[in-house]
Structure 1
Amino acid sequence: MIDPHEPLDRQVERQARIIDALVRRANRQHEVGTTAYGAFQSAIALQAQVWAKTRDLERTASELHSARADRERTRKNLAEALSAMEGGFALFTEGRLEAYNDLFRALLPDVADRVVPGLPLDDYLAAMDDSEHVVSADSHLPGAASRRGGTGTPMQSRVIELTGDRWYQVNLQSSSSDNVVLLMTEITDLVRRNRSEKENLIEGHADYLQAVFENMTSGVCTFAPDGTLMMHNSQFRRLLGLPFTMLQKGTEMGRLLDFMKTYRLVEEDAELELAIWQERLDRQGRLRKRVRHALGRVLDLHAHKLPGGGVLVELKDVTLEHRATEMLENRVAERTAELTRANQRLTEQYEQKARVEEELRQAKERAEAAVSSKTRFLAAASHDLLQPINAAKLLIATLVDSAQGTAMAPTVERLDGSFTSIEHLLHALLDISRLESTDATLTPSDVCLGTLMRGVAEDQGHVAALKGVRLDVVPTMAFVRSDPVYLLRSIQNLVVNAIQYTPAGGRVLVGCRRAGDRLVLQVWDTGVGISRKDQKRIFEEFARADNVPAGSGMGLGLSIVDRTCRHLGHRVRVRSKPGVGSVFSIEMELVEGQPARSEERGGETTGDEDICDHIVLVIENDPDVLYATTQKLETWGASVLPAASTAEALGFVRDMGLPPDIILADYQLDDGDTGDRAIAAIREATGVKVPAIMITADRRDVVLRRGAELGFSVLTKPVQLSRLRPLIDWKIRWQAPDDAA
């Protein structure tokens, strides 16, 4: 019923009302009851409650009296503490003055009458700024409106100077959201002590600066803003050769310049005009000049405008430096002249070198043109050279078959050998020409090495048998990265050399070995062998070992092998011992996981059977080659349709009314006609993809790419009959004509 947080007067008033109510209740007879015992019990209970409330009331009154005494004692102690403080103190509550000490009130006599409880903080700060006793202040303190930050607002401080050279630091700090404490601490002794120390320091620095001036290697002189001399060092007077009377404090700058001009102390009189000095200093803030003294010294004069308006003049003796510079400039001039002459000589040499280089370039162009012309000539002549050789070889092959068992057989065999030698020599010359060509392009691809080795074995097996040499080839289906045409030629040259230099009864072995990710093709023989000194030169053109018998060839085969392998990135090595034999090896990049191609497998057919009941369309513009090819095919049992052009071949097809079984065509025909066009025209006319073989002397890559596009095989002239016959049989049997579509 009574709130203990209410004021004591309020609590006492409530208790009195409660007691009065209880007394009135006890006096009402109808509320006590009808029995005397109940009335007695009610009176006893009422009396106990009255005593309890009375005790509470007495205790509350005692506490109220103690609180009032404590408050008065605290207020008295606070007043005594404020009076004992050395500085001024004031407490502002809600922006108004609540408590202060006597020093705070008496600090500013003209504001003392306004210092009363309730004075706003902003009014006091404004009065402080306007007080006549405040001489200066370094800042302003914020008012109450800008300090509504509560506890934690940073302390604001300022220093004020009062009359009588008194100094106070005023600190303003918020103690809570409603209270602000203003402290005034006298710092007069501290300020005076700092001032004294500063003056002593300045005097010490002046002496120090004067000592520095006197010991400087440069001459220094300072002028006041009005142009009068303030201070200088002895070096300044010595460098200019001035008398003591001209460097007295207060001497004007203009007078000093006039004295120097009058006695010609400086050669450049125009630089001693005061107006020139003032104009440059006002415009640039500095003046720099190198002057010559009458005594022969060279001086650097630097004048700088000081912040206060004065001028600092500095002189440096640079005589030695100037002389060294002049000497260096003279040397530089001499060296420049030498370099100029050397440059002229170099220019002449360069021009001469340029002329020589131009002559060399023209010579190189002529050489390249000659090589290119030679290459074009050999490329053009190869067809004309290989055509009659191809025709003669076909005719000789027919003649060999016809002369068997007759007296002409040995002669025909010798004739066949002579033409074979001519063929090998011509192939070697054409290969060297192409490898030396500036635009030689070898096209590496994935090649089945076993197919090439079998082809070489088939071509050279008969030669080895005639000589009595055993030729063995270890089969392999490994693939390598190389050019198929030139790799075949390289293997063939190694095998031909091995057979040629191995006597009857000897052996030649061709096989492969793996070496990590490389494959090494090796050709072993039991021939005459090669000495160590000859092993270094056998790969040169027209070079042969000393133990090689005369008439054993021109020495071009190994040169072709070396050039080919260098172009393809293969490595060629030889191991040999005279009288024991030799091992030639070609190391190539191994290609994993490649299956053999159908054209390569087709070469495995021997084709000993006659090509019977098959129509062969031969397209060849050379009459001798056309006749020889026709004769040889007819001896194999084929029905031959000889045509000299695409138009004549199409006439045969139209007359027959059916496509031929196979087409044998030359690449270069008359009047710009080509064999690939003839094959395409016949297939289009018949609507059948007729099997075809291109027999050509053109070894360019474009022919091979064209064959891959149109699906025909390519054989080079002179054609190897041992390869032509099985290839014809394989194409007719396994590449039966189908619809061109």
Structure 2
Amino acid sequence: MIDPEEPLEQQVARQAKIIDALMRRANRQHEVGSSAYGAFQSAIALQAQVWAKTRDLERTTDELRHARDDSERMRKNLADALSAMDGGVALFTGGRLEVGNDIFLRLLPDISARLQRGLSVEDCFAAMSESRHLVTVEGNFDVALAQARRSRVGASVVSLVFELAGDRWYQINLQRTSSENLVLLLTEITAIVRRNRSEKETLIDAQADYLQAVFENMTSGVCTFSPEGAVMMYNQQFRQLLGLPYTMLQKGTELQRLLDFVARHEIITEAGALEIAQWLDRLERQGRLRRRVRHATGRMLDLHAHRLPDGGVLLELKDVTLETRATEMLENRVAERTAELTRANAQLREQFVEMARVEDELRLAKERAEAAVSSKTRFLAAASHDLLQPINAAKLLIATLRDSAAETRFAPMVERLDGSFASIEQLLHSLLDISRLESADRALTPSDVCLGTLMRSVWEDQTPLAQRKGVQLDVVPSMVFVRSDPVYLLRSIQNLMVNAIQYTPAGGRVLVGCRRRGDRVELQVWDTGVGISRKDQKRIFEEFARAENVPLGSGVGLGLSIVDRTCRHLGHKVRVRSKPGSGSVFSIEMEIAAGRPPGAQEGCDRTPVEDYEMSHIVLLIENDPDVLFAFTGKLEQWGASVLAAGSTAEALRHVRDMGMPPDIILADYQLDDGDTGDRAIAAVRALSGVRVPAIMITADRSNELLKTGAREGFSVLTKPVQLSRLRPLIEWKIRWQAPEEAAAE
């Protein structure tokens, strides 16, 4: 009934309950039975059990008393041991103060009464921080306690160093003895701190003596001033260079007094009171000053002044008299030699006067010729926007008319009109390309370009032309990166592919692909066309040159000339292999971009784009009324709801009236009154609070605009716009790019 493993207090309590139950049982006569002998026998047995339990109870009580005596004795011994230690010691059990020695309890007399058993370690530290005997603490009590509790058991953490009144210093060490117990150790480090302080002062004095010895042995004169402007250190060289009396240059002399003495006695010839004031002002503003001055004795001195980190000033004087005299001597000799050369030049000038006159006439003639060419080039380059605007409007109107006239008797006429206009467009592009390549300020910017992307773009543009001619157009894109200009390389590939389709009869084939040549790649365009004779192969890259076997009306001969000029500027090699009646192979050899592995291969299929209804809200921003009308009609023919605007302000009014952002923005770059399309896109996005997909349609072909589009998140299409590329680009921007950008944001 009694577990010997239980504490003594519980065993005694259980024995008391058993004895009480036995006594009650002895008093109940009805439970013993009706026999007197049985009752007597039961009483005798009960009495024996009571005596046995009483003896057990007395023994347990003695053991409990001995255990309490041992505990008190151990506590007293622990207190005596802690009192015998040199430093202060306190033991916290379960975060409460268990015991502490006299050094700990009396270290701060004004809080000794609060350091009682059971005080939490947080309250103990709070009381210590409030003591008036505490001067400074290097650290934080709360941070030290948290660091000690996170440390492993048995690890000692040097947490705090504090100063008490009377220049006494102590260090607190915290150590975990178990998961719940913490020991605080106080160690007096007053002697160590005072010794370190004395050693530091001694070291500073030694360094001062060493620094003074260095000053005295310097060839330059040096003087330092405190932030208040008093002399701190100087060497005799400084006094001797300036010629100052001993009474004037002493430790503690004011800088202003020294400068007044120099100005009053004209020790430095140029240094009047006004000049010295300007020196001080520049030193105050710039933190340094450098001047070459002349001493009253005739010596030349270099004056250097610097602001020190503490706000003081360092002055340095250096005697440069010999250097100055050598410089003056050298300058005189140079002047003499210059005079001799001047006389010789005068003689030579007289001999070449006639030659100069002839050269001037030749130069003027050359300048007039170059001015005429440059004027033509600048005119074409500057007029590109104005030329392409009506071309773009007409192309949009023809596309709208072709779709409207389909299956009518006007369809063949519209088809011929479209073909004629395509020839005009191609010719205009060729003229503009030539003008840009000839322009003195052209800016070809080679970069890493993926060939596969350009080849696929040209394939998408020229597939309708090949289908109309009945020519099979196959492209095997190579996703290798090359060093080239993306705009002009795209035009070169387009010209080669257009020529191949144009001179290949119906039923023929055009194949475009690439071959690796070591660290270079060769883009090749194969065709089964009419071919070129060897004689014509030497001149087909000239302007307006065509082979003899090509039919009339098949171009003006500018495409290959543009390809040749572009490749020469970019460092590419153009080659041709051909035989009359067997087709031709044109190739462009380029350098592969280093460190750019090929991307994933993309195929070019011949599946036409699905003709679907475009149910989007399109915000169209275009300042040219004709282009705006034509573009609006074409987009509405595709099924789009068009908000036509001629400026940024009108576009913002449409968005405010609609109360929601459009699905996509189509904007021209050059608007009226200095307005631009990129600003219009940014304004619409800011007003709606949505990163609306956007496409810039412009005649500007500069790389700066492409970089701006990549940075601001809009695509760039050049005028006249290719509708076969515009429609899928609109769908891609709305259906795919916009969700991706929203998720990224």
Q: Provide the TM-score with structure 2 as the length reference.
A: 0.51
Q: Tell me which residue corresponds to 1:359.
A: 361
Distance 1:411 1:443 in 2: 43
For residues 451 and 465 of structure 2, the distance between their equivalents in structure 1, rounded to whole angstroms, comes to 22
Does the aligned pair in 1 maintain the 2:620–2:642 contact within 8 Å?
yes
Distance in 2 (alpha carbons) for counterparts of 1:709 and 1:605: 33
Q: In the alignment, which residue of structure 1 is the partner of 2:503?
A: 501
Query: Equivalent residue for 1:657?
Result: 659
How far residue 436 of structure 1 moved from its aligned partner, in angstroms, is: 0.4
Calculate percent identity across the aligned residue pairs. 78
Q: Is the 8 A contact 1:498 1:524 kept in 2?
A: yes
- Cα pair 2:652 2:684 within 8 Å, conserved: yes
Q: How far is the alpha carbon of 1:457 from its aligned partner?
A: 1.5
Deviation at 1:452, TM superposition (A): 1.2
Q: Is the 8 A contact 1:506 1:525 kept in 2?
A: yes
Q: Distance in 1 between matches of 2:514 and 2:397?
A: 37
Partner of 2:447: 445
Structure 1 residue 381: Cα displacement = 1.6
Deviations 1:271-320 (A, max 9, x none): xxxxxxxxxxxxxxxxxxxxxxxxxxxxxxxxxxxxxxxxxxxxxxxxxx
Q: Deviations over 1:549-589 (max 9, x none)?
A: 22221100000000000111100011111111111000001
Instruction: Return the offset for 1:458.
Output: 1.6
* Secondary structure at the counterpart of residue 668 of structure 1: coil
Q: What one-letter code is carried by the residue in structure 2 that aligns with 1:362?
A: L
Q: Which moved more, 1:373-382 or 1:570-579?
A: 373-382
Q: Which amino acid aligns with 1:580?
A: S
In the comparison of the two structures, how many residue pairs are matched?
A: 398
Distance 1:719 1:595 in 2: 32
Q: Is 1:724 matched with 2:726? A: yes
In 2 relative to 1, CA 726–426 (structure 1 residues): closer, same or farther, beyond 3 Å? same
| Aligned residue type for 1:473 | V
**C-alpha displacement of 1:705:** 2.3
Change (3 A) 1:503 1:657: same
- Name 2:423's counterpart in structure 1: 421
SS in 2 for 1:496: helix
Aligned to 2:565: 563
Task: Indicate the larger mover: 537-546 or 462-471.
Answer: 462-471
> 2 CA distance for matches of 1:344 and 1:535?
56
- Report the CA distance shift for 1:483/1:597 in structure 2 as closer, same or farther (over 3 A): farther
Q: Residues 213-252 of structure 1 correspond to what in structure 2 (within 5 A)? A: none
* Match in the other structure for 2:574: 572
Give the letter for the 2:416 counterpart. Answer: R
Cross-structure match for 1:389: 391
Q: Which residue is equivalent to 2:436?
A: 434
- TM-score (normalizing by structure 1): 0.51
**Is the 8 Å Cα contact of residues 455 and 603 (structure 1) preserved in structure 2?**
no
Q: Return 544-553 or 365-374, whichever deviates more.
A: 365-374
CA contact (8 A) 2:528 2:584 kept: yes
CA shift, 1:412, in A, is 0.3
Name the stretch that deviates more: 575-584 or 509-518. Answer: 575-584
Using the TM superposition, give the Cα deviation of residue 501 of structure 1 relative to its aligned residue in structure 2, in angstroms. Answer: 1.3
Write out per-residue CA displacement over residues 381-440 of structure 1, whole angstroms, 9 at most, x where no aligned residue.
Answer: 211111111111111111111111110000000000011001000000000000000111
Q: Which residue of 2 aligns with 1:150?
A: none
The answer on whether the counterparts of 1:481 and 1:590 sit within 8 Å (CA) in structure 2 is yes
- What amino acid is the match of 2:477? P
Alpha-carbon distance in structure 1 between the residues aligned to 2:358 and 2:683: 56
Q: Secondary structure, in 3 states, of the residue corresponding to 2:612?
A: coil
1:602 CA drift (Å) = 13
2:610 aligned to which of 608, 611, 635: 608
Q: Do the aligned residues in 2 keep the contact of 1:606 with 1:726 (CA within 8 Å)?
A: no
Q: Are 1:542 and 1:556, in contact at CA under 8 Å, matched by a contact in 2?
A: yes
Distance across 2 between alignment mates of 1:398 and 1:595: 43
CA RMSD of aligned residues (A): 2.7
The 1:445–1:367 alpha-carbon spacing in structure 2 relative to 1, beyond 3 Å, is same
CA contact (8 A) 1:368 1:438 kept: no
1:483 equivalent among 467, 471, 485: 485
Aligned-partner Cα distance in 2 for 1:595–1:620: 41
Give the secondary structure class of the aligned counterpart of 2:543: coil
Q: Name the CA distance, whole Å, in 2 between partners of 1:601 and 1:679.
A: 34
Matched residues in 2 for 1:574 and 1:377: separation?
Answer: 34
Distance 1:539 1:655, change over 3 A: same
Structure 2 unmatched runs, 5+: 1-344
Alpha-carbon distance in 2 for matches of 1:418, 1:364: 40
Say which SS state the counterpart of residue 719 (structure 1) adopts: coil
Change (3 A) 1:706 1:376: farther
The answer (yes or no) to whether the contact 1:611–1:729 under 8 Å persists in 2 is: no
Shift in Å, 1:700:
2.2
**AA partner of residue 572 (structure 1):** V
Query: What's the offset of the Cα at 1:344?
Result: 12
Q: Which residue of 2 aligns with 1:243?
A: none
Cα-to-partner distance string for 1:190-228 (whole Å, 9 max, x where unaligned): xxxxxxxxxxxxxxxxxxxxxxxxxxxxxxxxxxxxxxx
| Partner residue in 2 for 1:403 | 405
Please identify, of 618-627 and 368-377, the stretch whose mean Cα deviation from structure 2 is larger: 368-377
Distance 1:602 1:671 in 2: 43
CA contact (8 A) 2:511 2:527 kept: yes
Q: Give the equivalent residue in structure 1 for 2:309.
A: none
Deviation at 1:622, TM superposition (A): 0.7
Q: 1:630 aligns with which of 607, 629, 632?
A: 632
Question: Structure 2 counterpart of 1:393, which letter?
Answer: K
Corresponding residue to 1:582 among 572, 581, 584: 584
Alpha-carbon distance between aligned partners in 2 of 1:687 and 1:603, rounded to the nearest angstrom:
39
CA distance in structure 2 between the aligned counterparts of 1:595 and 1:659, rounded to whole angstroms: 40
